[in-house]
Chains A and B, each alone.
Chain A
Amino acid sequence: MQAPRPDGDAILRLNNVNKHYRRARKGQADIIHAAKDVSFELERGQVASLVGASGCGKSTVLKMIAGLIPPTGGDIRLNDQALTGPNEQIGIMFQQPTLLPWRSVLENVLLPIEIREGRKAAGLARERAMQLLEMAGLSDFANAVPAELSGGMAQRAAICRMLVTQPEILLLDEPFGALDEFTREQMNVEFERICQMRKATAIIVTHSIQEAIFLADSVFVMSPRPGRIVRRIEIDLPRPRTPDMITGSRFNEYVREIHDLLFGSGEEAAHG
């Protein structure tokens, strides 16, 4: 159990985070403003999703939190410590499972431990990894190579790999975007179950409005470039979420609200 923190339970705090890119074009340097004054707080155990059109900088925000790219302004704090690079308390997964094809599924899940703590520690963590694989329904595939897995199974293995070091925050960059619609819905249900079971704190980047609502406690809607958070919408739906909620009226009110923010009233998003 975590002890309560003095100033609320904010585990992650972004303060006016900005990201500019330089793009050389015909000898002339263009400065692209990818993310503008992004500020938000995330409490322990909270699941947030970041939704927006492609190119709106939502992935950029996620990669800055992961420490993979440095911001050009503002600061990111984890447990009130400034984040300056990759951190072992942060686990990330991408749209592609990115399993190493020459390793078995189990060895892939153990990779983060092997890299951070060495081979010996990875050997000792085998049991924990097996438990994760069991939770993901992959125990029969522990010794299989990634080529033998279906897309959904590979992505579940990637979830296990992200969880094996027990990070405080999970970052998911369009995690199920490459899967077909049926597998995707199934993965959403499973991922929600895992999040609830582990009381995970997570940020999910997606361009699917339904997915954003289904998984999250709060949806952050981002405007097109320069990406800003135009609204934070609290999703008041009971847990665990079930697929039949997607057709419910409350769910669809959220869909309409976010849809209007993204497509309907472009002026508001452009100026605001």
Chain B
Amino acid sequence: MADNTNVDPAILIALAENERKTLIERTPQWLLVLLFGSAIIAVWHAAVTFSGISQLVLPGPYQVLQDLIFTLHNLFTGGYVAHATWITLVEVVFGFMLAAAVGLGLGMIIGATAFGRKAIMPYVVAINTMPKVAFAPLFVAWFGFGIESKIMMAAFISFFPVTINTAAGLAATDSNMSMLFRSLEANRWQTLIKLQMPFATPYIFAGLKLAAVWSVIGVVVGEYMGGGEGLGELVRVAASQLRVGRVFAQILLLSLMGLSVFGFVTLLERYFVRWRR
């Protein structure tokens, strides 16, 4: 009941006392993020200025900003950075989609069949324990120096989280719900489509988000090993010329790309898992 008229002022004072927050709790988050970032840049600037470290080894924030502006200008005026970004984006997107398809299929076999769980799962786990980047030269040998080897590398690195999460999600189905479906004489297909898959979607999306980030890693490793025309190749060249500021700017582009794919998956998740609170 809204009854603010006859409240004892002592109670209001006590309430205000109860609700008192610290300075940090009252400050908006964006301001804190901005302040902390500025502090780091200030420390960075001071370190570079006073240590006398060479710009070739660690450029200061101002130099990096100049390189960033150059890179972004080149990107948006359709220069070589734009071409490299496009190539890498294509590789990431196809690598991610391949990983999602293979991971979903394999995960469904492992999660929904006893054979998959008992016979296939151990191999998937074994593959995951291998240092997968070590396979990069092989992928170049098998699939050439074009975008195919990078796509395969990205898919190879990132199919695992999708597989495991799909399988785990299918296996996690609420036992009461399974019992309900059995009492309704649901067949295996109905149980998979109407119960297990919807139940597993939050798990699957957690795997897809990991895969989104890992496929960027896979593409960059592929480009380091197999050359090509992507951003990874630009980073390699810039680093070999000791243009560290350029390297930073290009890595920022790569992380923005990872963030975009991640964001896209998050949007899909919001749509498909909107029932979850």
Contact = CB atoms under 8 A, between A and B. Distances in A.
Interface stretch (A19-27, A97-105, A259-267): A97-105
Interface string A79-90: 000000110101
A147 B277 CA distance: 7
Given A112-B184, A115-B186, 17 more contacts: A66-B183, A68-B179, A68-B182, A68-B183, A94-B176, A94-B180, A98-B180, A101-B275, A101-B276, A102-B198, A102-B275, A103-B275, A111-B184, A115-B184, A116-B185, A145-B275, A147-B277
Chain B interface, DSSP helix/strand/loop, else mixed: helix
Interface of B: 174, 176-177, 179-186, 190, 194-195, 198, 275-277
A122 to B, nearest CB: 11
A85 B174 CA distance: 21
A88 B190 CA distance: 16
A69 to B, nearest CB: 10
A45 interface: no
Interface in A28-73: 66-68
- Which of B181, B183, B186, B190 has most chain A Cβ within 10 Å? B183
Contacts of A67: 183
Contacts of A85: 185
A92 interface: yes
A96 B182 CA distance: 16
19 contacts: A85-B185, A86-B185, A92-B183, A94-B176, A94-B179, A96-B176, A98-B176, A100-B194, A100-B195, A102-B198, A103-B275, A111-B184, A111-B194, A114-B194, A115-B181, A115-B184, A115-B190, A115-B194, A147-B275
A66 B179 CA distance: 10
- Which of B174, B180, B194, B198 has most chain A Cβ within 10 Å? B180
A219 B185 CA distance: 30
A68 to B, nearest CB: 6
Nearest to B275: A102
Sorted from nearest, which 3 A-B pairs have the closest CB atoms?
A102-B275, A98-B176, A115-B184
A114 B185 CA distance: 11
Nearest to A98: B176
A116 B184 contact: yes
B177 A86 contact: no
Nearest to B273: A102
